Structure 1
Amino acid sequence: MTELTEAYVDSFALNAGAIKNGKDLVRKNSFQKLARTEDGTLLFGECKGSGKEPYSCSADFLKAEQPIFRCSCPSRQFPCKHILGLMHAYVDGKTFDIADIPSDIADKREKADKREEKKKETAAAPEGKESKRKVNKNALAKKLASQLEGIELAHKLIQQMVQAGLASLDMRSIRMYEDQAKQLGNHYVPGVQATLREVFVLINTSDNHEAIYTEAFEQLASLHALLKRSRDYIKARIEDPDLPMDITSNLEEKIGHAWQLSELRELELIRRDVELVQLNFRSYTDEARGEYVDEGHWLQLHDGEIVVTRNYRPFRAAKHIKEEDSVYMAVQTKELFTYPGDLNKRVRWEEMTMRELNDADRKNIRSFAERSSAAAVKAVKNHIKTPLADKNPVMLLHAAEVAKTENGCVLIDDQGGRLPLSNISRIGHPTLQLLPHLNHEQIKNTAVLVMFEDHLSEGKLTAQPLTLITENEMIRLYY
């Protein structure tokens, strides 16, 4: 069994409230029975509930990378507070009696083993016998035709807005455009619809329209480029039904395709036996998509690539979806699914274990930092020229020193090159004011995780520091 720690247990919780409720059960001595198997792979117990009979709960770590939780309570949250409380009781050192595995759990383990054997037999089937996902070409043709109609509708809306002029936009006209944009929901282009709504949200939330003209025009230009690429791509797929989906860029996701793990597996977009360390985490509200987003930037320990995880929680269902949080341990996964994209690819995993970070990990992380700020700026500028690229890429840079100047702060590399540091709009949370609180050793010879932003109106590229990694510690300025 993976060594249980408080952070590891909390990583399973849906939200902070579930963690608190689980700990409260331990504090109130609500568990009438606490037991574990001799091999330590199963924790189980009974917890007082609102009914006459206690709830039976268990945490099965036979497969450490994919634990199975069970509870007899009716809660829709999973894992529920009883399961979390059971694990926290173990972490807190409560006495767990050694007991045989309950017969019902033994039966479930046996059935799970049979399912696993069947999966292995299927995976080992001779080439050509394993059935792949079949595509209904008639349904695909109808979907592509509908998407093309949606693209043309979005293009007309942009034309109307530009011809009328952004200065003419008021609450009434924006509502009219939003009503028209709702029609895109019938054309399988939710990504395009959300990108269009970003413009409406930007204008609606600003009292000074002139102040956001540059940003609004930049968004419209990006949307126009997306529509052009999407139109050409969809037309090509209509003309050639056998043309595969684009996996060289994030175009499909920008249009609105939600990649399934089965698709990524079939396309072999998987990396094996990967260790990752989270360098930064933030949660934010995406009004255009109607979702809360939990975003983490991670470094792969074997090659230093910075990747991103995004957990989307729609407003209407947020309380039933696991809320991600900061992770301070190294994550180990046998399969890392990688979404199509370029810099800061989005990733996801189904199974994982965790371990504590050590000095060797920090040394390894620091070794991947780009030592030339000029090279970093060049790479970022080349990246953001791509129409579909994320305009706020994240990189790990080496700083000989983070220094204060008359105009703010700069990152100075080994060659004396300087990268201006500032608080950027994408984050919406300042971090520069924290730098003066660090001691001299923490801001010299350090690796700095930064998020870039291109200030078009000022014609300069700046970066906001998110995390510093020294030889002895990782200092998160925002998490």
Structure 2
Amino acid sequence: MPELTSSYVDSLAPNAAAIKNGMGLVRKKSFIKLNISENSELLFGQCAGSGKTPYECSVDFIVPESPVFRCTCPSRQFPCKHALGLLYAYTEGQTFTPAPVPEDIASKREKAEKREENKAKQAAEGGGSKPKKVNKSALKKKITAQLEGLDLLEKLVLSLIRGGLSTIDSKTLKMIQEHVKQLGNYYLSGAQIELRRLALLLGAGQDLEENYTYAMEQLTRLHAFIKKGRVYLTARAEDPELALDHESTIDEWLGHAWQLSELKEYGLVKEAVELLQLTFYSYDDLARQEYVDAGYWIEPASGEIHRTVTYRPYKAAKLMREEDSFNELARIPLLYKYPGDMNARVRYEEMTSRAVSADDLALVSAKAHRSYADAVKKVKNQLKNPLGDKTPVLLLHAANLGVAESGQYVITDESGTSLVLEDIPSLPQGTVNLLPFLPASSLADSYILVMFEHRLDQGRLVAQPLTVIKDAGMTRLLY
């Protein structure tokens, strides 16, 4: 069984309400029985419910990285509050009486073991390694439709550019929205999102000059996507294998949802990885029409900063697991990495955790960029890619963090080069206003996680602080 902490249990919960309800069962002393198997692989017990018969709940750690939750309650939430409450009772040090594994769980374990044996047998015989069959005829028809959709999108973009943004009115906005819907018929869901983002900018009705600047950037991105997408789709249609591009994000822009099996097939996996989450935040993406949970994690061994992204569509948000901050070190057997440049998206299916030590933070700090000139150069190279992430994140060493004569907060590297810290529009909340509350010890020789953004309307590259690491402590400004 992995080391069970409240933070780890929180990470298993589908949402904040489940955490609250699970803890509530412990506070109310709703558990009638609390048991643990002799080898500590299974926690099980009985919890009083609304009926006469208590619920039988258990958490099985026979595979530590992938706990199995079972409960006789009718809840469709997974894991349910009873299974979570069982774990919270354990983390709080309540007494679990050793007992034999119940027969029904032993039977389910045996069936699961047989399924795994059959899978292993099929894999050994070559049955499990067969590549997924692709209907090439259907895929070619899809590519043809996507090329037609790109032609439609190009006509719209060029007409908007020729007419000028100042001529755009409610009639034009309605036409753009109609095109957004039409792109769905051409299998261009990625283009739908970006075109809807343009419509939101043009219909904001606030600072028109600022909106026009970012609308032009969005048009530039769409035009670059059309050109690259057309070249890529044309080449792919001529490829007898119809292979995906596993080095760039073009397939994601075209609306392809990468499957974990595909990432593994292209070698985009890494075994036995440890990750430390440096920051986490959630926001409402109106263009995607989804809630987004985003976390930035550093791999202490390599210093790479990855990001996890979970999308929760409006219609299904209540039924989906809501991610949260994670304050321990995640130990991941197999990490999947999506195509991309800086801060590439990653995903994992199984994880155990342990407490973060001072040595972990020291290892992380050693990977920070110490030259701001080199860091800014890396950021600018990222921003040059019109289809790349426009808000790259880096960990920087700050020889000093203070206030300049202008009254703005700045961080300075060892050579005396400074970076102004400022809140950026892309994040849901500001953090600069929290800097005065940092302890004095954090203002020198510390490590700052920052998110960069190019303010086109001002012609400046700005950076917002997200996390401060000093010695054995980590202070999250955004979580």
| Smaller-chain TM-score bracket | over 0.9
1:183 deviates by 1.0
Question: What's the CA shift string for 1:242-297, capped at 9, x where partnerless?
Answer: 24211111111111110011111111210010000000101011111110000000
Question: What's the CA shift string for 1:439-476, capped at 9, x where partnerless?
Answer: 32102101111100112233221211111111120011
Distance 1:146 1:455 in 2: 36
Matched with 1:84 is 84
Matched with 2:269 is 270
Question: What's the CA shift string for 1:406-456, capped at 9, x where partnerless?
Answer: 331221001111122211111142111111221321021011111001122
Count of aligned positions: 478
1:358 deviates by 0.6
Matched with 2:134 is 135
Matched with 1:410 is 410
Matched with 2:224 is 225
Distance 2:418 2:119 in 1: 54
For structure 1, the 5+ residue unaligned runs are none
* Partner-residue secondary structure (3-state), 2:282: strand
The answer to whether the 8 Å contact 2:176/2:195 transfers is no
Distance 2:169 2:448 in 1: 42
Matched with 1:466 is 466
Distance 1:78 1:206 in 2: 43
Distance 1:220 1:477 in 2: 33
1:400 deviates by 0.3
The answer to whether the 8 Å contact 1:141/1:241 transfers is no
Q: Which shifted more, 47-56 or 189-198?
A: 47-56
Q: Which shifted more, 332-341 or 172-181?
A: 172-181
Distance 1:261 1:203, change over 3 A: same
1:103 deviates by 0.9
The answer to whether the 8 Å contact 2:210/2:457 transfers is no
Cα-Cα RMSD: 1.5
1:119 deviates by 2.8
Q: Which shifted more, 345-354 or 94-103?
A: 94-103
* Partner-residue secondary structure (3-state), 1:377: helix
Q: Counterparts of 1:4-403 in structure 2 under 5 Å?
A: 4-125=4-125, 130-403=129-402
1:125 deviates by 4.0
Distance 1:74 1:25 in 2: 16
The answer to whether the 8 Å contact 2:14/2:78 transfers is yes
* Partner-residue secondary structure (3-state), 2:12: coil
Distance 1:459 1:210, change over 3 A: closer
Distance 1:201 1:25 in 2: 45
Matched with 2:475 is 475
The answer to whether the 8 Å contact 2:283/2:428 transfers is no
Matched with 1:444 is 444
1:156 deviates by 1.9
* Partner-residue secondary structure (3-state), 1:11: helix
The answer to whether the 8 Å contact 1:48/1:54 transfers is yes
Distance 1:65 1:130 in 2: 23
Distance 1:313 1:233 in 2: 29
The answer to whether the 8 Å contact 1:154/1:181 transfers is no
Q: Which shifted more, 292-301 or 456-465?
A: 456-465
Distance 1:33 1:421 in 2: 54
Q: Which shifted more, 406-415 or 352-361?
A: 406-415
* Partner-residue secondary structure (3-state), 1:19: helix
User: Is 1:434 aligned to 2:434, yes or no?
Assistant: yes
* Partner-residue secondary structure (3-state), 1:303: coil
Q: Which shifted more, 181-190 or 112-121?
A: 112-121
Q: What is the percent sequence identity of the aligned residues?
A: 51
Distance 2:83 2:159 in 1: 55
Question: What's the CA shift string for 1:152-188, capped at 9, x where partnerless?
Answer: 2222222232233222223343123202220111121
Distance 2:77 2:204 in 1: 34
Distance 1:441 1:240 in 2: 59
The answer to whether the 8 Å contact 2:145/2:187 transfers is yes
The answer to whether the 8 Å contact 2:280/2:293 transfers is yes
1:130 deviates by 3.2
1:23 deviates by 1.1
Question: What's the CA shift string for 1:209-247, capped at 9, x where partnerless?
Answer: 223111111111111101111111011111223242111
The answer to whether the 8 Å contact 1:301/1:365 transfers is yes
Distance 1:119 1:420 in 2: 55
Distance 1:145 1:60 in 2: 49
1:382 deviates by 1.1
TM normalised by structure 1 equals 0.97
Distance 1:256 1:134, change over 3 A: same
User: Is 1:423 aligned to 2:437, yes or no?
Assistant: no
* Partner-residue secondary structure (3-state), 1:112: helix
1:131 deviates by 1.2
Question: What's the CA shift string for 1:310-369, capped at 9, x where partnerless?
Answer: 011111101111111001100001100000111111000000000000110010010000
1:129 deviates by 8.3
Distance 1:129 1:364 in 2: 39
The answer to whether the 8 Å contact 2:329/2:354 transfers is yes
* Partner-residue secondary structure (3-state), 2:110: helix
